[in-house]
Structure 1
C-alpha cells in the first residue's frame, strides 16, 4: 500500500483544508493491515480538531475482513476524538463488502479526491 500501485508500500497521510487524508493503494488485507492501522491511527491523532479523516481508496484494489476491521476501528477512534471517517472513491468490491456486512450505513462516501 502506498501512493502507487505497489501493495508493499505503506499508506501515505497528508492534509487538505479541514481534513486529514490517508491515501491507500494495493490491498487492504491481513498482510498489509498493520501498515493500514498505523496510518489510520496517525491520521486520527494528527488531525486538527473537527477535521474529517478521509481514506482515499481510488488506488486500492481489494479489501478483506482485516482491512474492514481496521476501517471500523479507525472510525470508532475518529468518532471518539470528534472526527468523521470518510471513504473517498471506494471500489465496487469495497461497497459490496460493506453492504454484505451491513456496515455500509456506518461510513460516508465521497467521490475521488482531486490532487
Structure 2
C-alpha cells in the first residue's frame, strides 16, 4: 500500500536480460523529486549493461515539471550508459504533459508493463 509519499520501490528482476523494470509509485512532483531522482539513479546503476530501463508507472498518476525534469535527466543518463528509458503505463495526465511540453517523442511509451 502506498501512502502517496512513496515514489519508487526496489527494482524488479528483468523478465529478460534486455529489460530492467523499475516500479514508480506516488506523485512525481516537487515535493518528492529528490526521492524519485535517487531511485532513478540507483536503477540506472543496477541495470544490466545495455538493458532497456522500463519505468512502471501504473501506480503513479501525477507528474509535474519537477518530475518531468527528473525523467529527462534520467533519460540522458541512461542514454550515456547505453540504455533506453521506457515509460510503461503512463497516466493520461502524464501523456498530456509530454504532448504539451513537446517531450513525448523523447520517450518510448508502452501501454503496459510486459510480463
TM over 0.5: yes
Deviations 1:49-108 (A, max 9, x none): 110111111110200000000000000000000000000001110000000000000000
Q: TM-score, with normalisation over the residues of structure 2?
A: 0.91
CA distance in 2, matches of 1:38, 1:90: 20
CA distance in 2, matches of 1:59, 1:91: 9
Q: TM-score, with normalisation over the residues of structure 1?
A: 0.91
- Do the aligned residues in 2 keep the contact of 1:6 with 1:25 (CA within 8 Å)? no
Per residue, is there more strand in 1 or in 2?
1
What stretches of structure 1 of length at least 5 have no aligned partner?
none
CA RMSD in angstroms comes to 1.3
Q: Give the SS at the match of 1:67.
A: helix
CA distance in 1, matches of 2:73, 2:41: 9
How many aligned residue pairs are there? 112
Structure 1 stretches of 4+ with a deviation exceeding 6 A read none
Deviations 1:1-57 (A, max 9, x none): xxx432122401222122222111121001111111111111111111110111111
CA distance in 2, matches of 1:89, 1:10: 15
CA distance in 1, matches of 2:20, 2:80: 16
- Do the aligned residues in 2 keep the contact of 1:87 with 1:108 (CA within 8 Å)? yes
What stretches of structure 2 of length at least 5 have no aligned partner?
none
